[in-house]
Structures are given as C-alpha cells and as structure tokens.
C-alpha cells in the first residue's frame, strides 16, 4: 500500500499569479489522481519562514535541496549555475517560435536535460515553463532601433550568455544574481542609474512606472523549470514518480498556453499597459541576429555548454 504524502511548493518568482495557477493545477491533478493520498500545500515566498537573509535565490535553492520545502520553479539562469547546459536556453534566436520550443522542451532533448539536472545538482527537473515567454527590453526612453541600445545600462537575469548578448549590442549589463524580479534589482542597486532591463510582457506590471517603454525583440525565451528536491524525490515510489512527472507536464503545458494568450492580449492592448510599445522589424531582427551570433562561439559557450546540445536544438 502506498504511503500518505504531504509536501509544499513555494512560488517565489514573478509573475506570481501565473506560477500560482500552474502550481494549483499540479496540486489538483495530483490530489485527484491519488484520491487525496498526496496533499500539496502551495504557498508564496512571503509565506515561507526564512532565516536571516536566505530569501534570496541561493538561500531559496538551499532550502529546497535540504528538503525544507519540496517543490519550486527556477529560471534557467539559476539552474545554469549547477548544470551549465541550461544556459543554452538563453542563446539569442535559439528558438524559431513556440512550436519549435514545444518540440524541444517536451521532446527527447528536454527530457534528457531534466533527468541530467538531478545528476548535476540537488534537484530533479520535472517540466519546463515559460516565466512569461519571449524576453522584451523595457526602458526609461523609447528603444525603436538597435542603435538605441548602444550605451544603455541594463539589468538582466543572471546568465553570462544574456550578458554577452547585450554587450554585443553595445549595452552595459548588470546581472541580477540575487533577486526574483526586475523591480527588486533596481531597489537593491540604488547607486546604479539603470536605463532599462529585460523582462517579459506578463512580468511587466511591477516595473511599468519606472520603465514605461517596451521593445519586443523576439530573440530569446525566458524559461523556468519545475523542480523537486532530490531528497524528497528519492522517497517516492516509481508509481508516484510517474504521477508527478505527468502532472508537471500537464501543468507546464497549461502555463505556457496561458502565457502565450496573455502575451497576445498584452500586444493587442499595449496602449493600455505602457507608454510606448515598439516591435523591431524583420530587418532590425536580422541585424540583431548577425550582431549577436558570435555568442554561439564565445569562450563560455565553447567551454561550458555542450555543442551537440545546441546543434540538436537548432536542428529540431
């Protein structure tokens, strides 16, 4: 007879509403399929009791790996610290569109990376989510063309790949190593005059008063991953492991679908959300692709990211 189980999923990253909905979908599937034998508590970072200053990403990860709570979602950059192949997802123009991303994330490549993550870190990967979809540039002043990025001081999610991408466009980049959203990085660095940063459309609300302009560059997906503590994972039966993986994939697909819909709604009603919304045209995007292509041959990518992985993703 399978044991009764209770666990906690802490939602810490923006957009909270989107991730809470995803976690609750997972909760509903698991509790229904197990006839209530497995119970899942979904709480936010603010509801979890941290010691000292451990609410930052490294502390958050440490609590998870030590099984103080059991599930969470992490951006690819945070997981890339533990397994560098996850930084491959930050490469510019890696994904052609959402359908290409779906084939990679839900196919053999994605499954390999999720399983490999548990060998390289303290967590088991269950499924890939979007964290808002494609990255956009938010700014204090309009960015209507690539030349407008030159000389800008930008806040970006932690990733050497992201940093090099924007530096090739002439920007000065400060990586957000400890925060959970763009707004918190601005607050923690009061001595830096940021001209803008990168985020996603569904994560824009908290930053719109500081950065009223948006430029949609379509160059990179802001991916996150549903993960579970290895300590907890190893206690599960094989039957429950299959249940968890299936529920995670279903909730992840729903989250990505909702993200795409929310993004389309935002673009269609952009005048209600921001002061100015700009879309780089095909010529600008092609120039951006050429200018940032050397990232694929950079020392970091060559030394830390599997070249076979990148080739497989591109050819999928």
User: What's 101's domain CATH number?
Assistant: 3.40.190.170
pLDDT at 146: 95
Query: Model confidence over 73-108: pLDDT tens digits?
Result: 988 888 998 999 999 999 999 999 999 999 999 999
**Domain presence at residue 47:** yes
The pLDDT tens digits for 195-210 are 999 999 988 988 999 9
Q: How many domains does the chain have?
A: 1
- Give me the percent of the chain exceeding a pLDDT of 70: 96
Tell me if 310 is assigned to some domain. Answer: no
Judge whether 146 lies within some domain: yes
Judge whether 266 lies within some domain: yes
CA dist 237 and 251 (Å) reads 21
Q: Is residue 312 part of a domain?
A: no
Domain region containing 223: 5-300
Which distant-in-sequence residues (6+ apart) come within 8 Å of 226 by Cβ?
22, 26, 71, 72, 73, 125, 126, 127, 128, 129, 248, 251, 252
Contact of 156 with 77, CB cutoff 8 Å = no
pLDDT at 55: 46
Contact 69, 48 (CB under 8 A): yes
Q: Tell me the pLDDT tens digit for each residue of 2-18.
A: 789 999 999 988 788 88
- Tell me whether residue 307 is in a domain: no
What pLDDT, on a 0 to 100 scale, did the predictor assign at position 179?
A: 63
Q: Is residue 228 part of a domain?
A: yes
* Residue 315 lies inside a defined structural domain of this protein: no
Calpha distance 246→310 (Å, rounded): 26
């Amino acid at each position: 007879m399978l044991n009764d189980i209770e666990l906690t999923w802490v939602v810490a990253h923006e957009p909270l509403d989107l991730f809470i909905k995803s976690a609750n979908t997972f909760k509903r599937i698991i509790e229904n399929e197990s006839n209530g034998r497995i119970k899942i508590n979904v709480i936010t970072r603010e509801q979890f009791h941290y010691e000292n200053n451990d609410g930052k990403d490294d502390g958050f990860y440490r609590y998870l790996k030590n099984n103080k709570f059991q599930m969470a979602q992490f951006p690819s950059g945070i997981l890339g610290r533990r397994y560098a192949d996850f930084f491959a997802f930050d490469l510019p123009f890696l994904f052609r569109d959402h359908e290409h991303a779906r084939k990679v994330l839900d196919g053999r490549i994605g499954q390999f990376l999720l399983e490999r993550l548990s060998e390289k870190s303290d967590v088991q990967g269950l499924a890939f989510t979007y964290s808002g979809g494609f990255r956009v540039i938010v700014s204090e002043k309009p960015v209507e063309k690539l030349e407008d990025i030159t000389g800008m001081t930008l806040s970006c999610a932690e990733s050497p790949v992201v940093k090099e991408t924007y530096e090739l466009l002439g920007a000065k980049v400060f990586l957000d190593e400890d925060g959970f959203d763009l707004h918190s990085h601005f607050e923690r660095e009061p001595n830096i005059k940021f001209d803008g940063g990168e985020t996603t459309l569904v994560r824009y609300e908290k930053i719109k008063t500081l950065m009223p302009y948006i430029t949609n560059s379509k160059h990179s997906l802001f991916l996150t991953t549903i993960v579970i503590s290895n300590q907890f994972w190893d206690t599960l039966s094989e039957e429950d492991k299959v249940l968890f993986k299936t529920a995670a994939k279903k909730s992840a697909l729903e989250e990505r679908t909702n993200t795409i819909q929310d993004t389309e709604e935002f673009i269609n009603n952009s005048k209600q959300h921001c002061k100015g919304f700009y879309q780089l045209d095909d010529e600008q995007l092609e120039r951006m692709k050429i200018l940032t292509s050397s990232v694929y041959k950079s020392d970091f990518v060559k030394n830390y990211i599997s070249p076979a992985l990148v080739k497989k993703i591109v050819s999928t």
